[in-house]
Amino acid sequence: MFVYKPAGLTSNRPVVVFLHGCGSQAAQYDNETGWTKWADQMKFVLIFPQVTSVQPDGCFRYYMAEHQMYNAGEPLSVVQMVNWVQSHYNTDSKRVFVTGFSAGAAMTNIMLATYPDVFSAGAPVAGIPYKCTESPAGLDNCLKGNVTLTAKQWGDKVRAARPGYSGPWPRVSIWQGVDDGTVAPVNATWTMEQWTNVNGLTQTPQTSNTVSGQPHRVYGANVVEAYDVIGTGHQFPIKPGTGTEDCGSGYPGQDNGICASLYTARWFGLDK
């Protein structure tokens, strides 16, 4: 793992885990997404897990059953990183969050499902729901949006991840580019259905509005939210510039008109 610890950090501060996408490395998502800018301003620790050379494609193994379980595989490894940071930097164990892009977004849903007692909220960006598939053979159907389940069936997958768990389930902020040709945008709908069902909510938004020009929906008392980022393909949404709400560099020439990391950080409550 890589750790970003901003200058002037005091004890009892939050932790954010960022999980990278396939074919890329952790170092491509720190300044490029704007997360280090907000860590400096809001004073929290960032953890960037890095897939090793064991995986030639650089992917978290989010599509394999053995890495979708509590106390096993890659989820356990990520939680061990959180524990290490907590023990070395005396961070707040009640304010631990997880986010990620693409494969890292799928892994974000895994972390939320398997460790709801560790992560109080998460933000998958262009990912698939928890246990959309449990083997590589089923991955293509997930990515193309060819899976048909009810909201309860999606929710049951999460509830089965931690049998007997009776605590609160995490809040979830869902981000998806409407022109994504890699992860079908319907995956954002499935993810919404999964987490609203787990949290005992209907799939009808309580409010619908626009944020920085992007369609935004809120379910329940700000328990689940979803952004449909217009004019955006398979990208982590950024807004380059030097303004107070600008962030990131991303791909050359990329500008999605909204800084996902800023609105996610605020939604996590990191600015409080």
Radius of gyration of the chain (CA): 17
SS3 assignment, position 174: strand
- 57 and 80 in contact (C-beta within 8 Å)? no
SS3 assignment, position 246: coil
- The whole-angstrom separation of Cα 119 and Cα 107 is 13
Longest dimension (CA), the chain: 49
- The whole-angstrom separation of Cα 128 and Cα 145 is 9
Just list the catalytic residues.
Answer: 102
End-to-end CA distance of the chain: 27
- The β-bridge relationship of strands 121-125 and 96-101 is parallel
